[in-house]
């Protein structure tokens, strides 16, 4: 029983670590922009959070810096892809390389040093005393609880509000919104910056909640997993959460089973999430899916008013 609780509660933590980035990417892609640099931006978030926490001993300030880091990176990406209308794939790759390299460079001083300041587990009164479920869901850190609120909010926003309707239209056919007098460029800027901010928070979750240390490249492919899950979920936050939980489960299953199956090489277990990523990507992007997928029709296409 303890094993199951450990696996499932670990799965929740793992899921949240990719969900912030996943929701960010969902909104960005819904607006018609594809940001491939998730991994790099997560690393920048993880690094900036650790550095600030290490030097100031202030977790709230650390998160503020994380959010600002994400926003600045988002503005750069938006300037390149929306204003200059550069190729989104190339710019995404540039963000990835920039984030990976810059975070390694700026975080060098504190690399592998314990921070001793993290998001600790806060058992919620009453709820955490529910047997099993309480331990799995309600004995977690603050960022996990925020995610519990964020998920329904994101779903509600996309499908039930006026802005959500515009967001969906923006990724399908920006010319329609332009003709209706909306500012396509400003909207895309907004969603890109929101996306990168969420990605940076995802990174900070890895370095300040899951672990409590900065190491170069420590997100270890979580950005790509988040990216893959967005397509897998058909750009729907609720499905995204299910996918993230599935990944969390697979990942934790591996690390917990290692103890019980010593004969199996550990590499097999640590490779499991990545194998799952590949499978998910093939399933979600393969041509055998029905014609009308949920993919925003204008995804990865710069909007140029003149070229109508």
Partner 1 sequence: MKEPILEMRNITKKFGKVVANEDVNLTLNEGEIHALLGENGAGKSTLMNVLTGIYKPNSGAIYYKGNKVKIKSPRHAVDLGIGMVHQHFHLIPTLSAAENVFLYTPSCKRVLHKKEMEDAIENCSKEFHLDVDPSAKIWQMSVGEQQRVEIIKLLYRGADILILDEPSAVLTAQEAVEMFKNLRKMAESGKSVVVISHKMNEVMQFADRITVLKGGKVEDTMLAEEATVERLTKAVVGDREFVPQTNEGSAKKEQVVLEMKDVVVKNDKGLNALKNVSLNIHAGEIFGIAGVAGNGQKELAEVIAGLRKAEEGTIFLNGEDVTKLSVKERIRKKIAFIPEDRLTMGLVPGMTMDENRVLKQYNEQQFSKHGILKKKAISDAVDAEIERHEIKIVGKSAPVSLMSGGNQQKLIIAREISGEPTLLICAYPSRGLDMGAAEAVRQILLEQCKKGVAVLMISEELDELFQMSDRIGVLCDGEMMAILDSHETDYETVGRLMSGERYE
Interface with partner 1 (CB under 8 A), residue total 21
CA distances 182 to 252, 285, 296, Å, are 45, 31, 18
Does 179 help bind partner 1 (rule: CB under 8 A)? yes
Does 172 help bind partner 1 (rule: CB under 8 A)? yes
Given a contact cutoff of 8 angstroms between Cβ atoms, the answer to whether 204 and 53 are in contact is no
Of the candidate residues 173, 211, 234, 255, the single one contacting partner 1 (CB under 8 A): 173
DSSP state of 219: T
Q: Tell me whether residue 234 or residue 256 sits nearer to partner 1 (CB atom).
A: 234
Does 307 help bind partner 1 (rule: CB under 8 A)? no
Closest CB 294 distance from partner 1, rounded Å: 7
Tokens 């509000």, located at residue:
161
Does 175 help bind partner 1 (rule: CB under 8 A)? yes
Does 176 help bind partner 1 (rule: CB under 8 A)? yes
Partners of 139 in the beta sheet?
Answer: 123
Q: What are the DSSP calls for 162-181, one per residue?
A: HHHHHHHHHHH-HHHHHHTT
Does 256 help bind partner 1 (rule: CB under 8 A)? no
The residues in 142-161 that bind partner 1, with binding defined as CB under 8 A, are: 160-161
Given a contact cutoff of 8 angstroms between Cβ atoms, the answer to whether 198 and 20 are in contact is yes
Q: Tell me whether residue 225 or residue 299 sits nearer to partner 1 (CB atom).
A: 299
Of the candidate residues 166, 190, 239, 256, the single one contacting partner 1 (CB under 8 A): 166
The residues in 96-125 that bind partner 1, with binding defined as CB under 8 A, are: none
Closest CB 238 distance from partner 1, rounded Å: 17
Does 21 help bind partner 1 (rule: CB under 8 A)? no
Closest CB 182 distance from partner 1, rounded Å: 9
CA distances 95 to 115, 148, 203, 282, Å, are 27, 29, 15, 24
Q: Which residues have CB under 8 Å from 253's CB, separation 6+?
A: 7, 272
Given a contact cutoff of 8 angstroms between Cβ atoms, the answer to whether 151 and 137 are in contact is no
Closest CB 173 distance from partner 1, rounded Å: 5
Which of these ranges, 52-60, 113-121, 220-228, 286-294, lies near partner 1 under the rule CB under 8 A?
286-294
Name the CA radius of gyration of the chain, rounded.
Answer: 20
What is the rounded CA–CA span in Å between residue 66 and residue 80?
A: 22
Does 165 help bind partner 1 (rule: CB under 8 A)? yes
- Site for partner 1, rule CB under 8 A: 160-166, 168-169, 172-173, 175-177, 179-181, 291-292, 294, 297
């Amino acid at each position: 029983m303890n094993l199951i609780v450990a696996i499932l509660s670990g799965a929740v933590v793992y899921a949240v670590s990719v969900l912030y980035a996943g929701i960010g990417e969902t909104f960005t892609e819904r607006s018609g922009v594809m940001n491939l640099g998730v991994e790099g931006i997560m690393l920048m978030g993880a690094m900036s959070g650790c550095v600030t926490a290490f030097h100031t001993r202030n977790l709230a300030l650390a998160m503020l810096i994380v959010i600002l880091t994400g926003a600045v990176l988002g503005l750069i990406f938006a300037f390149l892809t929306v204003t200059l209308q550069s190729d989104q794939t190339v710019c995404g790759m540039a963000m990835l390389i920039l984030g990976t390299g810059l975070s390694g460079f700026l975080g060098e001083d504190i690399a592998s040093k314990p921070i001793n300041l993290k998001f600790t587990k806060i058992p919620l009164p009453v709820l955490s005393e529910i047997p099993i479920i309480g331990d799995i869901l309600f004995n977690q850190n603050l960022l996990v609880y925020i995610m519990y609120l964020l998920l329904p909010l994101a779903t509600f926003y996309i499908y039930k509000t006026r802005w959500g309707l515009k967001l969906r239209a923006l990724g399908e056919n920006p010319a329609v919104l332009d003709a209706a007098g909306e500012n396509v460029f400003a909207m895309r800027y907004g969603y890109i910056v929101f996306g990168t901010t969420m990605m940076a928070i995802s990174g900070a979750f890895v370095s300040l909640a899951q672990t409590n240390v900065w190491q170069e490249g420590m997100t270890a492919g979580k950005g790509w997993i988040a990216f893959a899950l967005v397509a897998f979920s058909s750009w729907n936050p609720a499905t995204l959460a299910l996918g993230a939980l599935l990944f969390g489960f697979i990942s934790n299953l591996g690390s917990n089973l290692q103890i019980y199956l010593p004969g199996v090489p550990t590499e097999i277990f640590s490779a499991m999430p990545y194998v799952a990523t590949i499978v998910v990507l093939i399933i979600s992007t393969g041509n055998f899916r029905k014609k009308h997928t949920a993919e925003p029709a204008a995804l990865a296409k710069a909007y140029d008013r003149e070229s109508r």
